[in-house]
Amino acid sequence: MPELNRPVTEVAAGILLDQDGRYLLGQRPAGKPYAGYWEVPGGKIEAGETVFEALQRELQEELGILIDSCEEIMVLEHDYPHAYVRLHVNIIRSWQGEPRGCEGQQLSWQELLADKPSVEPLLPAAWPMLEKLKLILN
Ligand SMILES: Nc1nc2c([nH]c(=O)n2[C@@H]2O[C@H](COP(=O)(O)OP(=O)(O)OP(=O)(O)O)[C@@H](O)[C@H]2O)c(=O)[nH]1
């Protein structure tokens, strides 16, 4: 629970899963909090948007793809110095187009079966998402 009066930033995170058992991480661009850290693609949910709409918009902006659907796997909260965030974590299995770093960010496909990602550091709140992903897909 956030401390009294601390605003909650609602965020949608989309784990793209391909047919070879891989998921996608992106590196946060310069100028954002935690620049250089790796994360699951996504971003803040705007007023009036559903989680699906937010993911459609964010992944189009960040990766140049159009997602067809999403499945929520967990909601998790994390207290950062710059914000208290509530992350709506979704799996995305179907999309149009080939993901590319539209904001100049690096992308990296990761093996689901690997012990840990081959890139680092990861945003602190990305770790529980990956653990949950492994749990439900095993
Ligand atoms: N996309 C994403 N955000 C995450 C993850 N983990 C995590 O703690 N966050 C936090 O959720 C928030 C997402 O905000 P963002 O900065 O990516 O959103 P945005 O693209 O809408 O930002 P903008 O307002 O600067 O354009 C950040 O505070 C970020 O630290 C993650 O795995 N993916």
Interface confidence (ipTM) of the complex: 0.90
Nearest alpha-carbon partner for 85 in 4, 32, 11:
11
Q: How far apart are CA 64 and CA 101, in angstroms?
A: 8
Question: Quick check: 63 and 35 in contact, CB under 8 A?
Answer: no
Predicted confidence band at 28 (pLDDT cuts at 50, 70, 90)? very high
Q: How far apart are CA 28 and CA 135, in angstroms?
A: 26
Q: Which atom of ligand 1 is nearest to the CA of 78?
A: 8
Residues 55-97: pLDDT tens digits? 999 999 999 999 999 999 999 999 998 899 999 999 999 999 9
Q: How far apart are CA 50 and CA 57, in angstroms?
A: 11
Residues 30-49: pLDDT tens digits? 988 899 999 999 999 999 99
Nearest alpha-carbon partner for 75 in 45, 97, 115, 98:
45
Length of the chain: 138
Ligand 1 centroid to Cα of residue 20, in Å, is: 27
Cβ 43 under 6 angstroms from ligand 1: yes
Residue 136's H or E segment, with its range, is helix 126-137
Can you list the positions of beta strands (E) in 1-138?
A: 8-16, 22-27, 38-39, 42-44, 66-67, 71-79, 84-92, 95-96, 107-111
Cβ 125 under 6 angstroms from ligand 1: yes
Mutate to test the pocket of ligand 1, among 37, 38, 44 (most ligand atoms within 8 A of CB): 44
Is residue 4 scored above 90 in pLDDT?
A: no
Is residue 110 scored above 80 in pLDDT?
A: yes
Ligand 1 centroid to Cα of residue 80, in Å, is: 11
Mutate to test the pocket of ligand 1, among 123, 130, 132 (most ligand atoms within 8 A of CB): 123
Ligand 1 centroid to Cα of residue 54, in Å, is: 12
Structure token pair of residue 17: 């899963």
Ligand 1 centroid to Cα of residue 40, in Å, is: 9
Q: Terminal CA-to-CA distance of the chain, rounded, Å? A: 30
Predicted confidence band at 6 (pLDDT cuts at 50, 70, 90)? confident
Predicted confidence band at 1 (pLDDT cuts at 50, 70, 90)? confident
**Average pLDDT of the segment spanning 24-32:** 94
